[in-house]
Amino acid sequence: MAVSDNSKESAHIRPKEQFDFFHDERVRSVFYQLLTIATVGLAAWYLISNTAQNLEARGMQTGFGFLNVAAGFDSYFKLIPNEAGVGTYGRIFIIGILNTLYVSFLAIIFSTILGFFIGVLRLSQNWLVSRVALAYVEIFRNTPFLIQVIFWYIGVFSLLPKVRDSIDLSGGAELLLLNNRGLYMPWPIPGDLFWLTGAALIIAIIAVVILKRWAQNRQDKTGKIFPTFIPSAAFLIFLPGTVYILTGMPLGWDMPQLEGFNFVGGATLPPSFVTLLVALSIYHASYTAEMVRAGILSVNKGQYDAAHSIGLRGGRVMSLVIIPQAMPAIVPPMISNWMSTIKNSSLAIAIGYPDLVSLFMQTSLNQAGYAIELVGMTMAFYMFVSLLISWLLNIYNKRVQLVER
């Protein structure tokens, strides 16, 4: 009762709010915002008018029409066919994007695997091993990436032997050959009935997923654990394998063969590609390692004790208790690390790998001009990728937050 009385009273006593134009927060807010818009607008107008004048004075053309004009050059490494003097600048743009994404994608996979490995070594009980892992992390994180890329290129991959003395990475089988022209490897040529093997593989994967679901359900209901690993592995190997043999092994391999002064056949990755891949993987693995370590350490020590006390053993403690709790701490920084892998692949320009920046912002810009359009398109691509990645990250974060109660 007394409470309600009080509130009534205070509502009466409360003075009538006076509207003070100069000190009102809303008025000020609108004023500041208008001021900001005016300043930014004026600055933008100033820059744009200057640019327009400059373009006119220099007789430079604008517009995106040049994308349909044939480019007078070609990229020596490309995933889609192209020809100098025939392929347009638009096609060069796509080649650049594909080259950037290709090398970044592989680098992301390798750096994540290597990073997890180093991160686990960092946490090793063995003092020496964890120190060596620490040295790896510190060395690669504290030197500029550009120096590393150039070092790998000039100090390692340029010193590779000539074609005749190629290094055989497959130990005498002549499958993976490394020389100063690049990395040579066999390339599969699927035969007529090869799609059946592919179909069998898909069926096997679906079967494994169903099996896992069923095993999980059974464990939830009865508490009995059904070992799924061996049956799944058997499914995945035997079903496609049997189909492959029954259809008469319809897969040929195009092998690299030494003919004259160079290898013919198979697939080739140029030295600049291999260099960039190695450099990116090693550099970003050092960051991933620290994230993995920090993530695993972020799990409370009590969780280990509790997991042990309910009878779980080493591997299961990690896979069922620690890793699921560490993942929310590991994944967000790791995804931004992936983004910086894509961004850092632009240093390809220093070693001549034709990525987007090198093809579009350097070669095309020198050949065609159109500075604003070229710079804008290149930046727009990176922004698009970045937005896509942060969108995925948001989805992940929301899912993680829902799980956590």
For residue 358, give the amino acid letter: S
Q: Say if residues 333 and 291 touch (Cβ distance below 8 Å).
A: yes
The minimum distance between CB 262 and another protein, in angstroms, equals 25
Of 139 and 234, which has the nearer Cβ to another protein? 139
Q: Using alpha carbons, list the distances in angstroms from residue 186 to 76, 174, 257, 262.
A: 20, 9, 10, 15
Tokens found for residue 374? 């070229």
Of 37 and 70, which has the nearer Cβ to another protein? 37
Of 54 and 217, which has the nearer Cβ to another protein? 54
Of 226 and 382, which has the nearer Cβ to another protein? 382
The minimum distance between CB 378 and another protein, in angstroms, equals 6
Q: Say if residues 119 and 291 touch (Cβ distance below 8 Å).
A: yes
Q: Cβ-count burial of 183 within 10 angstroms (0-12 exposed, 13-18 middle, 19+ buried)?
A: buried
Tokens found for residue 396? 């992940």
Q: Say if residues 214 and 225 touch (Cβ distance below 8 Å).
A: no
Task: Tell me the β-bridge partners of 185.
Answer: 267
The minimum distance between CB 369 and another protein, in angstroms, equals 10
Of 86 and 392, which has the nearer Cβ to another protein? 392
**Crossing angle, helix 271-297 and helix 89-122, to 10 degrees?**
40
The minimum distance between CB 186 and another protein, in angstroms, equals 31
The minimum distance between CB 243 and another protein, in angstroms, equals 40
Of 29 and 401, which has the nearer Cβ to another protein? 29
Task: Name the DSSP letter for residue 104.
Answer: H
- 162 Cβ partners below 8 Å, 6+ apart? 179, 180
Please, what sign has the CA dihedral across residues 174, 177, 181, 182? positive
- 303 Cβ partners below 8 Å, 6+ apart? 321, 322, 325
CA 298/CA 328 separation, integer angstroms:
10
Q: What is the binding site for another protein (CB under 8 A)? A: 29, 32-33, 36-37, 40, 47, 50-51, 53-55, 57, 124-129, 132, 138-139, 141-148, 150-151, 154-155, 339, 343-344, 346-347, 349-350, 357, 361-362, 365, 371-372, 375, 378-379, 382-383, 385-387
Of 36 and 262, which has the nearer Cβ to another protein? 36
Of 134 and 207, which has the nearer Cβ to another protein? 134
The minimum distance between CB 136 and another protein, in angstroms, equals 11
Q: Say if residues 235 and 204 touch (Cβ distance below 8 Å).
A: yes
CA 303/CA 325 separation, integer angstroms:
10
List b or e across 30-51, with b for residues whose CB sees 16 or more CB atoms inside 10 angstroms.
eeeeeeeeeeeeeeeeeeeeee
The minimum distance between CB 102 and another protein, in angstroms, equals 17
The beta strand positions in 218-312, using DSSP E, are 251-254, 257-259, 262-264, 267-269
Of 29 and 394, which has the nearer Cβ to another protein? 29
Please, what sign has the CA dihedral across residues 42, 45, 47, 53? negative
The minimum distance between CB 259 and another protein, in angstroms, equals 31
Of 50 and 257, which has the nearer Cβ to another protein? 50
3-state secondary structure of 331: helix
The minimum distance between CB 239 and another protein, in angstroms, equals 36
* N- to C-terminal Cα separation, the chain: 38
The minimum distance between CB 96 and another protein, in angstroms, equals 12
